[in-house]
């Protein structure tokens, strides 16, 4: 089969590799019909995630058709399913608590040692995301083996298109969990840093969960326009002092909840971020936490800080005293996708989410290398890329309004 592989920093290639096979009774094999490139794939692309090996198949947002099932799988051939990016057994202590991304069985014994050494405890497994999370082949491929296929995959009714439901795999539940973790109370003001796909779903989720207003922060005009379309007030951080604007918009007290949808590769030309960039280049730090610092300083006293943004290790100049003195509550973590899948599918069917208008491009799986480059270099134009193994090479379609832009 054909698959998108990581070959090194800024090196992505589409290769012919062996087809996956059923290995365990609970496995299923799916034929991928749609797979998206995630913002966190850029952390792999930029070489910031340890534990990648040349030749790894990437991709963790995907859906497709069941083509083969193991003896204990509950799926049936021909079913259309969306697959959560987190691999979860459903039966360990963590899965029973619905903390699916903390699954204690999905990271195999061969790979969990390194993960435990680095994090204190082994992380749960995930598709296409380095060997610290299990070393599983990813979904930017024609076929994928799905372990524990009786627990994760969400069966999709025929009347829903791929684009309607693909993001149930990661970014929709990630945005939803980000808002849930902000413990939003009716009428709250919620500030969201980053209007990438996760930020855009966080904005929609915060409003659905009762926020009075959402203030979104970014600098790419297209992404800010989408944020506005989904109901947020917007701040371009290149035009205003974000903390001053947030304070003045909230009578001086600051937002009730602040959500960092940026993560480890924060942009911006402030002194702290430039120092972070230098440290990362010198390999003395992995994180650029400018957005997170700003969120902590901006948040109201006794407020909530939710961190869906991905971080990989140790950070410098973390405002710990500010966090403590202001009495903030912090919630974070990889998404417990399986916990939210059913409810979110119903909400999509009820038309509560716009899951489609953030997609800027559809392209062939064969064009993945070009698409990674665009995704990395042209974040204003490329707001979400969906790869289709069925499309012919070079058959790229861009969204209507982008063509007018």
Partner 1 sequence: MSRSKNDLPDPLILAAAGAGIAVLATGAALLQRRRHRESRGQEETIATDAPHWTLDKASSRALFGKSVLINRPRAELYAAWMPERFPEFMENVVAVDDLGDDVSQWTIRAPAGREVTLVNRITERVEDTSIYWQSTPVSDIANSGEVRFIDAPAGRGTYVSLILAYDPPAGKVGRFAAKLLQREPEVQARRDLHRFKQLMETGEVTTNASPSARGAESPTEPHI
Q: Which is nearer to partner 1, 117 or 274 (CB)?
A: 117
What count of other Cβ atoms lies within 10 Å of the Cβ of residue 371? Answer: 24
Do 166 and 345 meet the contact criterion of CB atoms below 8 Å apart? no
Q: Binding of partner 1 at residue 244 (CB under 8 A)?
A: no
Q: Which is nearer to partner 1, 13 or 332 (CB)?
A: 13
- C-alpha 319: how far from its chain's center? 25
* Residues 143-162 as x/- pattern, contact with partner 1 by CB under 8 A: -xx-xx--------------
Instruction: Report in angstroms how near the CB of residue 171 gets to partner 1 at its nearest.
Output: 23
**Beta partners for 397?**
362
Task: Find the binder of partner 1 among 35, 69, 86, 111 (CB under 8 A).
Answer: 111
CB proximity list for 220: less than 8 A, separation 6 or greater: 195, 379, 380
Q: Which is nearer to partner 1, 142 or 276 (CB)?
A: 142
Q: Binding of partner 1 at residue 2 (CB under 8 A)?
A: no
Q: Binding of partner 1 at residue 395 (CB under 8 A)?
A: no
Do 259 and 190 meet the contact criterion of CB atoms below 8 Å apart? yes
What count of other Cβ atoms lies within 10 Å of the Cβ of residue 358? Answer: 24
Q: Which is nearer to partner 1, 35 or 106 (CB)?
A: 106
Q: Which is nearer to partner 1, 334 or 360 (CB)?
A: 334
Q: Binding of partner 1 at residue 44 (CB under 8 A)?
A: no
Interface stretch with partner 1, choices 2-10, 244-252, 293-301, 384-392 (CB under 8 A): 2-10
Q: Which is nearer to partner 1, 51 or 197 (CB)?
A: 51
How far is Cα 17 from Cα 4, in angstroms, rounded to an integer?
10
Count H helices and E strands in the chain, helices first. Answer: 14, 19
Q: Binding of partner 1 at residue 21 (CB under 8 A)?
A: yes
Q: Binding of partner 1 at residue 50 (CB under 8 A)?
A: no
Task: Find the binder of partner 1 among 8, 76, 98, 113 (CB under 8 A).
Answer: 113
Instruction: Report in angstroms how near the CB of residue 379 gets to partner 1 at its nearest.
Output: 28
Q: Binding of partner 1 at residue 23 (CB under 8 A)?
A: yes
CB proximity list for 239: less than 8 A, separation 6 or greater: none
Task: Find the binder of partner 1 among 43, 80, 112, 300 (CB under 8 A).
Answer: 112
Buried residues in 311-349 as b, exposed as e (16+ CB within 10 A)? bbeebeeebeeebeebebeebeebbbbbbbbeebbebbe
Q: Binding of partner 1 at residue 72 (CB under 8 A)?
A: yes
Size of the site for partner 1 (CB under 8 A): 48
Q: Binding of partner 1 at residue 5 (CB under 8 A)?
A: yes
CB proximity list for 351: less than 8 A, separation 6 or greater: none
Task: Find the binder of partner 1 among 9, 10, 11, 53 (CB under 8 A).
Answer: 53
Q: Which is nearer to partner 1, 101 or 189 (CB)?
A: 101
Task: Find the binder of partner 1 among 15, 325, 343, 346 (CB under 8 A).
Answer: 15
Q: Which is nearer to partner 1, 53 or 301 (CB)?
A: 53
How far is Cα 75 from Cα 61, in angstroms, rounded to an integer?
19
How far is Cα 72 from Cα 9, in angstroms, rounded to an integer?
39
Instruction: Report in angstroms how near the CB of residue 174 gets to partner 1 at its nearest.
Output: 23
The number of residues in the chain equals 405
What count of other Cβ atoms lies within 10 Å of the Cβ of residue 129? Answer: 29
Task: Find the binder of partner 1 among 96, 185, 346, 401 (CB under 8 A).
Answer: 96
Strand 213-218 and strand 189-193: the pairing is parallel
Residue with tokens 């930029």: 46
Quote the tokens at residue 182: 């902000």
Q: Binding of partner 1 at residue 9 (CB under 8 A)?
A: no
Q: Binding of partner 1 at residue 93 (CB under 8 A)?
A: yes
Q: Which is nearer to partner 1, 121 or 317 (CB)?
A: 121
How far is Cα 172 from Cα 373, in angstroms, rounded to an integer?
24
Task: Find the binder of partner 1 among 59, 64, 84, 135 (CB under 8 A).
Answer: 135
Q: Which DSSP letter does residue 153 get?
A: -
Q: Binding of partner 1 at residue 64 (CB under 8 A)?
A: no
Do 193 and 265 meet the contact criterion of CB atoms below 8 Å apart? no
Q: List contacts with partner 1 (CB under 8 A).
A: 1, 3, 5, 7, 13, 15, 17-21, 23-26, 53-57, 72, 89-93, 96, 104-113, 125, 131, 134-137, 141, 144-145, 147-148
């Amino acid at each position: 089969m054909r698959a998108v592989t990581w070959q090194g920093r800024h090196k992505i290639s589409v290769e012919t590799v062996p087809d996956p096979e059923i290995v365990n009774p609970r496995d299923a094999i799916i034929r991928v019909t749609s797979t998206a490139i995630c913002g966190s794939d850029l952390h792999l692309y930029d070489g910031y995630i340890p534990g990648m090996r040349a030749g790894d198949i990437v991709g963790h947002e995907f859906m497709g058709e069941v083509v083969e099932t193991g003896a204990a799988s509950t799926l049936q051939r021909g079913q259309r399913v969306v697959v959560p990016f987190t691999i979860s057994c459903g039966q360990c202590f963590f899965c029973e608590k619905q903390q699916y991304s903390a699954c204690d069985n999905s990271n195999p014994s061969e790979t969990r040692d390194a993960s435990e050494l680095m994090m204190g405890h082994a992380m749960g497994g995930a598709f296409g995301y380095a060997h610290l999370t299990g070393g599983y082949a990813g979904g930017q491929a024609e076929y994928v083996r799905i372990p524990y296929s009786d627990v994760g995959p969400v069966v999709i009714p025929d009347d829903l298109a791929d684009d309607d439901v693909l993001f149930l795999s990661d970014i929709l539940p990630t945005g939803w969990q980000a808002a849930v973790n902000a413990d939003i109370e009716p009428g709250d003001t919620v500030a969201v840093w980053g209007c990438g796909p996760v930020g855009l779903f966080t904005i929609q989720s915060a409003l659905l969960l009762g926020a009075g207003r959402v203030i979104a922060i970014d600098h790419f005009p297209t992404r800010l326009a989408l944020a506005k379309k989904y109901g947020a007030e917007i701040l371009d951080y290149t035009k205003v002092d974000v903390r001053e604007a947030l304070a003045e918009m909230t009578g001086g007290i600051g937002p009730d909840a602040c959500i960092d949808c940026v993560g480890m590769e924060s942009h911006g030309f402030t002194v702290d971020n430039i120092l972070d960039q230098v440290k990362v280049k010198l390999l003395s730090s992995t994180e650029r936490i400018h957005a997170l610092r700003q969120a902590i300083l901006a948040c109201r006293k006794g407020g909530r800080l939710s961190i869906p943004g991905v971080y990989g290790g140790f950070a410098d100049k973390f405002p710990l005293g500010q966090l403590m003195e202001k009495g903030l509550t912090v919630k974070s973590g990889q998404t417990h996708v399986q916990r939210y899948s059913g409810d979110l599918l119903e909400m999509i069917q009820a038309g509560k989410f716009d899951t489609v208008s953030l997609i800027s491009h559809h392209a062939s799986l064969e064009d993945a290398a070009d698409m990674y480059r665009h995704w990395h270099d042209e974040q204003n134009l490329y707001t979400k890329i969906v790869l289709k193994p069925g499309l012919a090479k070079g058959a790229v379609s861009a969204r209507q309004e982008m063509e007018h832009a």
